[in-house]
Amino acid sequence: MATALWIAHVLVTDAEAYGRYAKEAGPAIAAHGGVFLARGGKYVQLEGNDRARNVVARFPSLQAAVDCYHSPAYQAALAHAKGASQRDLVVVEEVE
């Protein structure tokens, strides 16, 4: 089964509220087998919309990532990010 990457591009508009999201989202992601590969580090924007926070997490499968997103724990965390950020989130299956 192919692993999957959860890729988020984020513009934080309320750092305090978004910090609460990040604190709660980490354990929810880990509970579904997610491991962070990048989390807000240095980056170079080559095309598209510049959003200073970029996060990549690897999950055991596409379904695990989707299940994480819809889980009660992640949705509770996500409530803090809504209104505190502009986000794009995609889950992409990796090449085997």
| pTM (2 d.p.) | 0.92
How far apart, in Å, do the first and last CA atoms of the chain sit?
8
8 A C-beta contact, residue 53 and residue 12: yes
CATH code, 49: 3.30.70.100
Residues 8-63: tens digit of each pLDDT: 999 999 999 999 999 999 999 999 999 999 998 999 999 999 999 999 999 999 99
How far apart are alpha carbons 29 and 50 in whole angstroms? 24
Parallel, antiparallel, or unpaired: how do β-strands 4-12 and 35-39 relate?
unpaired
Q: Would you state the structure tokens that stand for residue 10, as one six-digit string?
A: 């984020």
Separation of alpha carbons 80 and 51, rounded Å: 18
User: How many structural domains comprise the chain?
Assistant: 1
Range of the domain at 12: 4-93
